[in-house]
């Protein structure tokens, strides 16, 4: 087990190698798990997750979204949904995870966060296990699990990043975003052995600006850290996006031809391609449910 801040642990060591050997290294995992984080708040994580989810569903994928901003999540509000239950109920043991899932646009499924009443900013190890057990409950597993992380570098953010196949980090042209992404990448690489990150630049005005911001980041990471950063793409600063937010709709759904929507569809295509590359990355998923879903699918 790997210790996280505050005593939380992430499945590692024997358990992880056991899981790894159970899952096939040769073929992509049926469930692709992508954690979206950013360090700094307000850079567009939730919008990117919501739109990647809807875009993926429109491309025929079975998408489940976990609102891992457990205390202050707002994915449900962004999509105009009013959940009756939430992950807090699962963590309290009063609801099964499957009962908490709600359906969103284009058939995406959502696990809503709490409404802020419970303090879930640092899941205990027992709560992490309860959540993982809950995933086993799901009758029809998705092929894409998107995790909308909270801002910052809390133990929850680190936990959800470590258990995912891919860490998609949202960077914006603001200088504070750069320093916060650096801090996130630093802690994940130096303390949790995460060496590969996908970077999406949001709210850039041009492709040139997006590439420039990305290069600024890699200049610092190349100098001080042993990590590889891939430019996953960029989403333009686009008035259509806040317009869609005000109507509580995903921009890809409401304005599919908007510049930000085109970028989200493109990024969604990238995600599907990463799935094929997963074995190359080598960092096989530690998220119990996915491995177990795989086993269930394979009838083992
Ligand atoms: N590409 C974009 N163009 C224009 N506005 C955008 C874009 N992306 C995000 N925004 C705006 O930025 C604001 C913050 O977005 P969002 O809630 O997705 O950020 P977040 O990173 O999830 O925030 P938090 O850290 O609080 O969870 C929203 O009001 C949204 O409308
Ligand atoms: Mg958010």
In tens, the pLDDT along 148-176 reads 999 999 999 999 998 898 999 999 999 99
Q: 42: CA distance to ligand 2 center in Å?
A: 7
Ligand nearest to the CA of 41: 1
Residue to probe by mutation, ligand 1, list 42, 121, 262, most atoms within 8 Å of CB: 42
Structural domain of residue 284, as residue ranges? 28-291
As for ligand 1, residues whose beta carbon falls within 6 Å of it are 38, 41-47, 69, 151, 202-203, 235, 237-238, 241-242, 245, 260
Instruction: Choose between 258 and 4: higher pLDDT.
Output: 258
The count of structural domains within the chain is 1
Q: Is residue 94 part of a domain?
A: yes
Between the CA atoms of 189, 193, 198 and 200, what dihedral angle is there, to the nearest 10 degrees?
-40
Ligand nearest to the CA of 174: 1
Q: Is residue 2 part of a domain?
A: no
Q: Is residue 261 part of a domain?
A: yes
Which CATH number goes with the domain that contains 46? 3.40.50.300
Q: Is residue 17 part of a domain?
A: no
Per-chain mean pLDDT for the chain: 85
- Collapsing DSSP to helix, strand or coil, 62 comes out as coil
Average pLDDT over residues 16-35: 55
Q: Is residue 10 part of a domain?
A: no
* Residue 118's pLDDT band (cuts 50, 70, 90): low
Taking the CB of residue 21, how many other CB atoms lie within 10 A of it? Answer: 10
**Ligand 1 nearest-atom number relative to CA 49:** 18
- Residues near 38 by Cβ (< 8 Å), separated by ≥ 6? 44, 45, 149, 151, 169, 170, 171, 177, 180, 181, 184
> Are the beta carbons of 141 and 100 closer than 8 angstroms?
no
Q: 147: CA distance to ligand 2 center in Å?
A: 11
Indicate if the alpha-carbon torsion angle 232, 103, 122, 145 is positive or negative.
Answer: negative
* Closest-CA residue to 107 (of 32, 46, 56, 33): 56
Percent of the chain with pLDDT over 90: 67
* Closest-CA residue to 261 (of 38, 111, 58): 58
Q: 75: CA distance to ligand 2 center in Å?
A: 7
C-alpha span between 258 and 260 (Å, rounded): 6
As given in the structure block, the two tokens for residue 191 are: 């303390």
* Residue 29's pLDDT band (cuts 50, 70, 90): low
Q: Is residue 272 part of a domain?
A: yes
**Ligand 1 nearest-atom number relative to CA 203:** 1
Ligand nearest to the CA of 241: 1
Q: Is residue 9 part of a domain?
A: no
In terms of Cβ atoms closer than 10 Å to its own Cβ (0-12, 13-18, 19+), residue 277 is exposed
- Collapsing DSSP to helix, strand or coil, 248 comes out as coil
Instruction: Choose between 6 and 187: higher pLDDT.
Output: 187
Q: Give the E-state strand segments of 224-298 in sequence order.
A: 228-236
**Ligand 1 nearest-atom number relative to CA 245:** 31
What is the predicted pLDDT for the residue at 286? 39
Percent of the chain with pLDDT over 70: 81
Taking the CB of residue 108, how many other CB atoms lie within 10 A of it? Answer: 26
Longest Cα–Cα distance in the chain: 50
pLDDT of 300 > 90? The answer is: no
pLDDT tens column, 225-275:
999 999 999 999 999 999 999 999 999 999 999 999 999 999 999 999 998
Residue to probe by mutation, ligand 1, list 38, 45, 47, 238, most atoms within 8 Å of CB: 47
Q: Is residue 262 part of a domain?
A: yes
* Sole residue written with tokens 């680190």: 158
C-alpha span between 107 and 257 (Å, rounded): 20
């Amino acid at each position: 087990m790997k210790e996280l801040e505050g005593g939380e642990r992430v499945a590692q060591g024997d358990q992880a190698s056991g899981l790894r050997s159970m899952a096939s290294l040769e073929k992509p995992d049926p469930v692709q798990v992508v954690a979206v984080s950013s360090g700094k708040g307000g850079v567009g994580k939730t919008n990117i997750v919501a739109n990647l989810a809807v875009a993926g569903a429109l491309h025929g994928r079975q998408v489940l979204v976990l609102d891992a901003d457990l205390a202050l999540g707002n994915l449900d509000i962004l999509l105009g949904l009013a959940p009756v239950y939430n992950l807090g109920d699962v963590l309290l043991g009063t609801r099964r995870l499957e009962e908490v899932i709600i359906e969103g646009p284009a058939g995406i499924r959502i696990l809503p966060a709490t409404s802020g009443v419970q303090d879930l900013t640092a899941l205990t190890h027992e709560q992490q296990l309860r959540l993982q057990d809950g995933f086993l409950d799901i009758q029809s597993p998705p092929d894409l699990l998107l995790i909308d992380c909270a801002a910052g570098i809390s133990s929850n953010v680190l936990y959800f990043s470590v258990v995912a196949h891919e860490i998609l980090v949202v960077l914006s042209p603001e200088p504070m975003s750069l320093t916060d992404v650096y801090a996130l990448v630093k802690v994940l690489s130096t303390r949790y052995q995460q060496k590969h990150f996908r970077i999406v630049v949001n709210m850039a005005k041009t492709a040139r600006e997006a590439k420039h911001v990305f290069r600024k980041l890699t200049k610092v990471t190349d100098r001080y850290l042993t990590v590889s950063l891939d430019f996953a793409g960029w989403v333009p600063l686009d008035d259509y996006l806040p317009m869609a937010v005000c109507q509580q709709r995903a921009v890809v759904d409401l304005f599919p031809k908007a510049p930000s929507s085109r970028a989200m569809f493109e990024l969604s295509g990238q995600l599907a391609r990463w799935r094929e590359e997963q074995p190359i990355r080598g960092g096989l998923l530690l998220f119990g449910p996915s491995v177990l879903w795989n086993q269930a699918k394979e009838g083992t």
